[in-house]
């Protein structure tokens, strides 16, 4: 996706802090003081916001090499939980104040930061767009198209469907049913952990 983490190096290594997390362990909780911006070194973390009724929303998923919680730079508290997804997850925490100091003198790094944020804006907008599709099958098709790559557009599933269901805003049951419909209609073909998009005049790209 390009150089997203350029600005991390601005802060002297001894000022950064490394954290190792087990799967499910939290790096911070919503409401905690926003003290640092982070990067995933290994594994994967997920930013989750909890609703009052107990449901939760995955706001962001950051894989190895990606940065997250940039928005915390100008916020007092974190507004979501950060939990590790993979068993061996390592995160670099960059103290907010130090980073802000460094950024103030470095236009390139600040621009890189802005660029990363712009990418997030795009991603979030795309997700919002998907949520506006009422029909479950169409919504899933849209999601698949967004994820697909290759000439016969295909998607390799790295996570369970059940997780994808919540990401697109459906129950897993509805998701499975829709998948079945799409397969019967011949719009997709399901492999082991793969989905291939079929259909003439179908492969529009976002």
- Residue ranges that bind DNA, judged by CB under 7 A: 87, 134-137, 160-163, 169-174, 176-180, 190
Distance of CA 38 to the CA centre of its chain: 14
Instruction: Pick between residue 98 and residue 133 the one whose CB is nearest to DNA.
Output: 133
Q: Quick check: 57 binds a second copy (CB under 8 A)?
A: yes
Q: Quick check: 177 binds a second copy (CB under 8 A)?
A: no
Instruction: Pick between residue 14 and residue 200 the one whose CB is nearest to a second copy.
Output: 200
Residue 26, binding choice from DNA, a second copy, none, Cβ under 5 to 8 Å by partner class:
none
Name which of residues 186 to 205 contact a second copy (CB under 8 A). Answer: 204
Residues facing residue 38 across a β-bridge: 68, 93
Instruction: Pick between residue 120 and residue 147 the one whose CB is nearest to DNA.
Output: 147
Residues facing residue 40 across a β-bridge: 91
The set of residues, in sequence order, having a beta carbon less than 8 Å from that of 85 and lying 6+ positions away, is 23, 43, 44, 45, 46, 61
Looking at 64, 133, 183, 189, which residue binds a second copy (CB under 8 A)?
Answer: 133
CA torsion, ordered 149, 193, 123, 62, to nearest 10 deg: -120
Looking at 49, 172, 177, 187, which residue binds a second copy (CB under 8 A)?
Answer: 49
Residue 87, binding choice from DNA, a second copy, none, Cβ under 5 to 8 Å by partner class:
DNA
CA distances from 137 to 101, 105, 156 (A): 48, 49, 18
Q: Quick check: 1 binds a second copy (CB under 8 A)?
A: no
- What contacts 24+ positions apart, CB below 8 Å, involve 132-136? 136/170, 136/174, 136/175, 136/177, 136/178
């Amino acid at each position: 996706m390009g150089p997203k983490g350029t600005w991390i190096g601005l802060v002297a290594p001894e000022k950064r802090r490394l954290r190792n997390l087990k799967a499910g362990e939290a790096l911070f909780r919503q409401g905690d003081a926003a003290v640092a911006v982070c990067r995933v070194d290994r594994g994967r973390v997920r930013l989750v916001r909890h609703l009052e009724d107990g449901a939760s929303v995955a706001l962001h998923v950051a894989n190895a090499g990606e940065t997250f919680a940039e928005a915390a730079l100008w916020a007092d508290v974190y507004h979501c939980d950060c939990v590790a997804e993979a068993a061996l997850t390592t995160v670099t925490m960059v103290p907010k104040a130090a980073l802000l100091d460094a950024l103030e003198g470095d236009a390139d790094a600040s621009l890189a930061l802005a660029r990363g944020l712009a990418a997030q804006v795009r991603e979030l907008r795309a997700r919002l767009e998907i949520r506006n599709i009422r029909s479950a099958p169409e919504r899933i098709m849209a999601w698949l198209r967004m994820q697909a790559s290759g000439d016969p557009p295909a998607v390799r599933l790295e996570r369970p469907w059940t997780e994808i269901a919540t990401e697109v805003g459906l129950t897993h049951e509805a998701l499975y049913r829709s998948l079945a419909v799409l397969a019967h209609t011949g719009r997709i073909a399901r492999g082991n952990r793969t989905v291939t998009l079929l259909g003439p005049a179908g492969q529009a790209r976002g």
